[in-house]
């Protein structure tokens, strides 16, 4: 006889009476859902960790585009310049909506009940749906396929790397709108990201005490960049963990004022320096991870629900962000 050993099947070895054991043995199901597919996005977390920003209605924000020149030194009864200057321009973005379906055959849910229902099928499927939706939002931040269509949000690549696009209704290919571009990228030339090139890029987006706070690199290039600093780790510091020597950084390290972190969704061979004070996701207040109740089609014994979120990625100050390219090691 041949017996299957998928799921809660008994295997040989160690059992010899495989068929008998499969018929009478109570199976143990680990009461937790293991994840071998989904990937976390530190960037998505970092951009939202300061609090969820919500707004209703049309997504418009004012941008100061030029200094008003009506001022300066004067004398006595000199006629003063009272010219009216239209120095503020609205940036307008379109809300983007995302969904995730949860579909479960009713008969499958019935079979899951009783002793076998240690992990409720409906709850487990909903957990999978939440994780799957998060993947779509994380890919959308980086313009990664399939989240790179005209229906997706204005992503990090469109805001920071692309210089000749129209974003938030403002044409950046027009020289008159140069104020709406991100700071030009820094060429790393070759090899691992050097501290000199990182410093050059960092200082290009520092404005007084207003400094970027997030530096993102893909994981392999992150390892090369971190290698510039490992020789500075002190193993004899009294405040270090005495239980074991830390052979690397226990936490993310800082480069100037930037938290440096790797992201599995980030573009290869590039690093991005961002200021999340101005660059962050915004969510529609009336469609913030809304969940429809489960409904059943008239001709199928299946129940379906959807999770919805309407959001956009805004950047009130593109010049405060930049990127580094040609990182080859």
The helix/strand/coil state of 231 is helix
pLDDT at 29: 79
The label of the residue with tokens 């909506």 reads 97
Count the Cβ atoms, other than its own, within 10 Å of residue 31: 7
Beta strand 271-274 with 214-217: parallel, antiparallel or unpaired? antiparallel
* 264 phi, psi to nearest 5 deg: -65, -20
Burial of 10 (0-12, 13-18, 19+ CB in 10 A): buried
Torsion of CA 154, 155, 159, 161, to 10 degrees: -140
Q: What integer pLDDT is reported at residue 26 of this predicted model?
A: 82
Name the residue among 28, 33, 23, 34 with its Cα closest to residue 116: 28
> CA triplet 273, 275, 277: central angle to 5 degrees?
165
User: At 198, is the secondary structure helix, strand, or coil?
Assistant: helix
Quote the tokens at residue 312.
Answer: 């956009």
CA dist list (Å): 249 to 97, 244, 255: 38, 13, 13
Is residue 86 within 8 A of residue 68, CB to CB? The reply is: no
Mention every residue, 6+ apart, whose C-beta is less than 8 A from residue 2: none
Residues 12, 22: contact at Cβ < 8 Å?
A: no
DSSP helix/strand/coil, 24: helix
Half-sphere exposure of 108 (CA within 13 A, CB side): 13
pLDDT in 10s for each residue of the chain, 329 residues = 555 567 788 888 888 888 888 888 888 878 888 889 999 999 999 898 878 898 888 899 999 999 999 999 999 999 999 999 999 999 999 999 999 999 999 998 888 876 656 678 888 999 999 999 999 999 999 999 999 999 999 999 999 999 999 999 999 999 999 999 999 999 998 888 999 999 999 999 999 999 999 999 999 899 899 888 876 655 455 545 555 555 555 667 889 999 999 999 999 999 999 999 999 999 999 999 999 999 998 899 999 999 999 999 999 999 999 999 999 87
Q: Is the pTM value of this prediction over 0.75? A: yes
C-alpha distances (whole Å) from 138 to each of 69, 95, 118, 225 are 43, 17, 31, 23
Within 8 A by CB and 6+ apart from 228, the residues are: 192, 194, 195
The torsion angle over the Cα atoms of residues 156, 162, 167 and 171, rounded to 10 degrees, is: 160
Q: What is the pLDDT of residue 10?
A: 84
Copy the structure tokens of residue 250: 């226990």
Q: What are the residues whose beta carbons fall under 8 Å from the beta carbon of 298, sequence distance 6 or more?
A: none
What three-state secondary structure class fits 23? helix
Q: How large is the C-alpha radius of gyration of the chain?
A: 27
Q: How far is CA 76 from CA 69, 213, 255, in A?
A: 20, 48, 52
Q: Is the four-CA dihedral 38, 42, 48, 49 of positive or negative sign? A: positive
């Amino acid at each position: 006889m041949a017996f299957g050993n998928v799921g809660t099947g008994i295997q040989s070895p160690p059992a010899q009476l495989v068929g008998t054991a499969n018929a009478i043995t109570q199976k143990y199901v680990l009461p937790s859902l293991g994840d071998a597919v989904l990937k976390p996005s530190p960037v998505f977390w970092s951009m939202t960790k300061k609090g969820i920003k919500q707004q209703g209605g049309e997504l418009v924000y004012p941008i100061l585009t030029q200094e008003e020149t009506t001022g300066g030194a004067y004398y006595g009864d000199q006629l003063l310049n009272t010219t009216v200057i239209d120095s503020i321009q609205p940036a307008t973005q379109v809300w983007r909506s995302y969904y995730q379906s949860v579909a479960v055959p009713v008969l499958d849910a019935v079979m899951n009940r009783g002793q076998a229902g240690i992990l409720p099928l409906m709850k487990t499927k909903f957990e999978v749906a939440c994780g799957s939706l998060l993947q779509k939002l994380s890919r959308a931040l980086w313009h990664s396929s399939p989240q790179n269509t005209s229906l997706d949000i204005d992503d990090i690549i469109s805001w920071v790397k692309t210089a000749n696009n129209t974003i938030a209704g403002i044409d950046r290919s027009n020289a008159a709108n140069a104020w709406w571009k991100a700071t030009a990228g820094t060429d790393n030339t070759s090899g691992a990201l050097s501290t000199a090139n990182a410093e050059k890029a960092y200082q290009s987006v520092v404005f007084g005490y207003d400094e970027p706070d997030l530096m993102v690199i893909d994981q392999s290039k992150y390892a090369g960049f971190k290698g510039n600093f490992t020789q500075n780790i002190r193993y004899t510091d009294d405040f270090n963990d005495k239980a074991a020597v830390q052979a690397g950084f226990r936490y993310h390290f800082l480069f100037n004022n930037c938290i440096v972190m790797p992201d599995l969704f980030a573009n290869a061979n590039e690093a991005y320096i961002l200021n999340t004070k101005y660059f962050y996701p915004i969510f529609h207040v009336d469609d913030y991870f809304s969940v429809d109740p489960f409904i059943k089609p008239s001709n199928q014994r299946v129940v379906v629900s959807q999770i919805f979120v309407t959001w956009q990625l805004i950047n009130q100050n593109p010049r405060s962000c930049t990127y580094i390219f040609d990182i080859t090691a």
